[in-house]
Amino acid sequence: MRVAFYEDGAADEFGSVALMRPVFELVCGRYSLRERLIRRLHVAEWGAFVRRHLVEVYREDHPECRLNDTAWLLGGPTLFLNGRWLPTPDALLRIDPDEAGLVDDTVVYVTVSPAESHVFARQPFDDALNRLARTRRTVDTAGQLLHFPWDVVEQNAAQLLADFTPPQNGRAGPPPRERQGSNVEVLGPAESIAIDATAAIEPFVVLDARQGPISIDAGAVVRSFTRIEGPCHVGRESHVFRAEIRGGTTIGPVCRVGGEVEQSVLHAYVNKSHEGFLGHSYVCPWVNLAALSTTSDLKGDYSPVDVPLAGDPIPTGRVKVGSFIGDHTKTGLGCLFNTGSSIGVMCLILPAGRLLPRFVPSFATVWNGELSDHWDLERSLDTARIAMSRRNRELTDAHERLLRHLCDETEPDRRAAVERARKKQAAPVLAGVRPV
């Protein structure tokens, strides 16, 4: 089977968490959307159609992918899959090459023949795909269509349940009590816990699988006095320090996690080693959350949360929403994120002793609680090189060019956000009095 993953026109609605990756590389459950579909389908070769600014980096990260290549479509029938679709396993089995699948009237799959591939050269991608879909028998299909980053977080627990594979001979180590001794407490069925044979679980750890399964990947380390609730996944070579990990949480590869985490996605290479609460949030790679950095995910009056993804509030319809934090952002000690915060790529956020602005555009700073666009790109790139080298990774030329491009592209957002903040600070409620 030949498969092409694609981003449609709604990709920009995911804000900062998708600025440096296609939407189908967002993690939901144990895997990204692309990884899950490749695992479930018999894929011989695959391609992708992504936003133009992502092409160079994505090609470097995935050299096997045929990227934005319409000539590749001449090689045989190709199943196009919408990168925002979370299908059920049954929905994948029912895919018919003569049909176009819809979720909420949006095309989520269609098979394109070589003879039809010419339409992509003649009109915009979305228009061409929708035109081809109209020539098929359309069917409503099962699964969820993601629209915003909080949809990813909301679906995470269900996907963790769907992604779990019970331990099998040769795949996982023995049950924790057998392997680690009686000082590891297992609550719930042992078959709901899968621990790689190379992972280390120290004494005085609680693994609670009563509400869902727990998987701990190769080389991971769970330190003493940690409690993990399922459904949860701890990724390859991640370390969990004396932490309270609540259900619905994914800790991706090579993370450092302490404190309390609830129903959140830590994509990969996230450093949150210290105390502080993180709830209902999505955190991108190379983010460092300093000690006591804390995210609110619930308003005091329990009302639905709005999120200013691009500065203007978007209603989520949800009561629990945390923060969405873009790549390479760093915080100082004791930063306090407000409910429903949107934080951009490569921001520097310093504490103010009060709640931070809910919208921080990419490549901006927060100093003494105030937003600023006085920011040194070269110094931040040097910091990124140092941080990545500590995990044996390199800031490649392609990734550096992407960051420089995003810095230029987001400059209007920074100017507008800083101007709004200044006007808000200057606007008096009474003569000579600033608003609290």
Q: How far apart are CA 116 and CA 430, in angstroms?
A: 66
Query: Angle at Cα 26 formed by Cα 156 and Cα 151, nearest 5°?
Result: 45
Q: Are 48 and 22 in contact (CB under 8 A)?
A: yes
DSSP states of 20-65 = SS-GGGSEETTEEHHHHHHHHTT-SEEEEE--GGGHHHHHHH-TTS
End-to-end Cα spacing for the chain? 60
Q: Which pLDDT value is given to residue 49? A: 97
Q: How far apart are CA 317 and CA 330, in angstroms?
A: 29
> 345 CB contacts (<8 Å, ≥6 apart)?
16, 19, 20, 284, 326, 327, 328, 329, 362, 363, 403, 406, 410
Flag residues of the chain having pLDDT under 70. Answer: 169-182, 427-436
Q: Which pLDDT value is given to residue 428? A: 59
Q: Which pLDDT value is given to residue 42? A: 86
Q: Which pLDDT value is given to residue 123? A: 86
Taking the CB of residue 192, how many other CB atoms lie within 10 A of it?
A: 23
In the chain, helix, strand, coil percent, each to 5?
A: 30, 30, 45
Cα 278 to Cα 28, 220, 249: the distances in Å are 17, 20, 10
**Alpha-carbon dihedral sign for residues 83, 89, 90, 93:** positive
Q: Which pLDDT value is given to residue 174? A: 47
Q: Which pLDDT value is given to residue 430? A: 45
Return the beta strands (E) in 87-201 as ranges.
99-103, 106-112, 137-140, 144-145, 184-187, 193-195, 200-201
Q: Which pLDDT value is given to residue 181? A: 52
Nearest by Cα to 93 from 147, 127, 142: 142
Nearest by Cα to 387 from 310, 286, 276: 286
